[in-house]
Structure 1
Amino acid sequence: MTGFGKLFILLGVIFIVIGLIWSFIGKLPGDITFKTGNTTIYFPIVTSIVVSIILSVIFMIVGRLK
């Protein structure tokens, strides 16, 4: 198996783990939700920061493997 194939397997496993964690947590503390009547506004601030950090680490690892 080539290095590129191993990379895709590793990324797949990482995404599966992240998806499982996300499905149990749902909403992180720090995400802002406004509910008024029938309207709900959701600002996933902390979730966006966490996803950004995870993607940055993944891209840094991929860049070093090149």
Structure 2
Amino acid sequence: MLIVAGIVLLIAGLFFVFSPKIPFLGKLPGDIMVKKENFTFYFPLASSILLSVLISLIVYLIRKFS
């Protein structure tokens, strides 16, 4: 379990390092951004849903073939 947790943390860390280079991530229609004079609120709703679906699909495929 510790090895799997380490691999998951490694993948998450690599994702955070390379996420600014992914052009569509964070700019999907459905991501909420509110800009006021001294206030900015950003909630990546569509990006979160997309990542959740992709991670669920990867976990499903790993469980199915192992």
Q: TM-score, normalised by structure 1?
A: 0.62
The ranges of structure 1 where at least 4 consecutive aligned residues each deviate by more than 6 angstroms after the TM superposition are none
Bigger helix fraction? 1
Question: Aligned Cα RMSD in Å?
Answer: 2.4
Partner SS state of residue 41, structure 1: strand
Shift, 1:38, TM fit: 2.5
1:14-40 CA distance string (max 9 Å, x none): x88xx68x7222411110100011221
Partner SS state of residue 38, structure 1: coil
Residue 37 of structure 1 aligns with an amino acid whose one-letter code is E
Q: How many residues align?
A: 51
Structure 2 partner of 1:49:
49
Residue 24 of structure 1 aligns with an amino acid whose one-letter code is P
Written as runs of structure 1 = structure 2, the 5 A alignment for 1:1-66 is 23-26=22-25, 27-66=27-66
- Percent identical residues: 33
Partner SS state of residue 25, structure 1: coil
- Structure 1's unaligned 5+ residue stretches are 1-7
- Structure 2's unaligned 5+ residue stretches are 1-6
| The structure with more radius of gyration | 1
Structure 2 partner of 1:4:
none
